[in-house]
Structure 1
């Protein structure tokens, strides 16, 4: 293949790696993100079943349905528990053996479920993200282009 074409393709593939991905990283780390409207508390616990505790200003305490949630709140669900939370446009079910952390990222509220072997269930269908799939697909296409344009006739071992 033409030397110039190979360099153009290689340059294109390399430049894809320098595309700003800060918004991708921000959205990918949140199980659900919603706009912050400036009101406090920012949300509340829906239902609470079994082993569930919540972080308070004075430390951890038992969680109760209707309990207030704010930035920095953490909901910890034990092996025999479950909970649901409502924060802005996010309605999340928090499964057993998981933790929900609430933080602020720029002007958004970020809810992040960690530690569960199950996936947290969101009630809003508009929070689905194909970013990881697109990144992986781009990497696969780039690898395919590089493999197709490899100079097989002038290898080092020849």
Structure 2
């Protein structure tokens, strides 16, 4: 295969493989991310069951259904508790023994459930969870490996 064409393909694969990683790097730690619309408060607490605390100006206090949430808010759920939270297009169920942190990443609101991530349920306002980022990253890497293997020059090695 022509060396120039091969170099161009390798360059394209490298760009395609690494560009998505940097653009999704800040969203990787978000359980759910939604656009910031400039509203204050940015969300609220829905249902509360059991031991649930929320950060306030003077520390932590008991969470209340309908309580306002803003950037920097933290919802802490005890061992026998659960809570639901709605912020923008994110509806989260926060399970027992976990913490929900709310932060701002560029022009997005980042909700991050820590502790019992495996049982956290996420979704947008319609209940759909369409985050295919890991699938696209893996697919790009597999495609790049396939192109490199197909274009490898097996007959003109350096040491023959």
**For 1:156 and 1:98, how far apart are their aligned partners in 2?**
56
**For 1:109 and 1:33, how far apart are their aligned partners in 2?**
6
Question: SS of the residue aligned with 1:16?
Answer: helix
Worse-superposed segment, 110-119 or 14-23: 14-23
1:84 is displaced (CA, Å) by 0.3
Q: 1:147 to 1:114 in 2, by over 3 A?
A: same
Taking structure 1 as the reference length, the TM-score comes to 0.82
1:120 is displaced (CA, Å) by 2.3
- Residue 144 (str. 1) matches residue 146 (str. 2): yes
Taking structure 2 as the reference length, the TM-score comes to 0.81
RMSD over aligned CA atoms reads 2.4
Report how many aligned residue pairs link the two structures: 158
Question: SS of the residue aligned with 1:118?
Answer: helix
**For 1:155 and 1:109, how far apart are their aligned partners in 2?**
52
**Gap regions ≥5 residues in structure 1:** none
Partners of 1:83 and 1:95 within 8 A in 2: yes
- Residue 41 (str. 1) matches residue 41 (str. 2): yes
**For 2:8 and 2:53, how far apart are their aligned partners in 1?**
56
